[in-house]
Amino acid sequence: MHRLGFTNKEAIRAIEHRRLKVNGSVITENIEFNETWDIYLDDNLLKPNTPFTYIACYKPRGIETTNNQLIKDNLTTVFKFDKHLGYAGRLDKESEGLLLLSNDGKYIQSLSSPIKEKEKEYLVTVNKPISDEFIIKMGNGVDIMICKTQACKVEKLSEFEFRIILKEGKNRQIRRMCKALGYQVARLIRVRIDSIRLDGLKPGEYREYQL
């Protein structure tokens, strides 16, 4: 309850005296704060609910995955929102594609946590013809110095392009995997995180979605 100006002791006292209501109902035990609640003290509104927002956006190439406005080419130079939104699934500056934004912290954490193993799908173009050996080695996992990557799904799409689906997200992982096998990434696009797809979005565009 600190975010409402209460100490824990004050909140417990208000609950014991049945002075706190959440969404119109008296609460009788100390509970975790939730942004979506209307919270009242003695029928006085302390905090109106803040509905969760879920946005899928296409991060253009050349944009840093950060909201820090002190960093050149940050997300706020492309996407203008009237509330603070966290993001799931960082993309390095030269990569592009799907980012998921939300003020639902638990949701963002569930997408970002390596423990949850949420799938992330990418289309990758490389600088030379793709061999069968390359596809096999990428799928089996590659030693990228900091670790050996997990086995993953890899599919050749054309002479220079392949699809890869990861359940982990090491820093610049796909670029490092390709480099370790003698390839350079020319273009990298993320097209899916979990069940959410890019679905026709163009660089700099976004859409809201519901869970």
Q: Where are the domains of the chain?
A: 2-47, 54-208
Q: Does domain 54-208 have CATH number 3.30.2350.10?
A: yes
Q: Domain spanning 2-47: which superfamily? A: RNA-binding S4 domain (3.10.290.10)
pLDDT digits (tens, 9 = 90+) for 112-169: 887 888 999 999 999 999 999 999 999 999 999 989 999 999 999 999 999 999 999 8
Q: pLDDT by residue (tens digit) across 57-100?
A: 999 999 999 989 899 999 999 999 888 888 988 899 999 999 99
* 38 assigned to active site: no
pTM of the model: 0.78
Of the candidates 42, 73, 82, 92, the residue annotated as catalytic is 92
Under 8 Å between Cβ of 88 and 114:
no
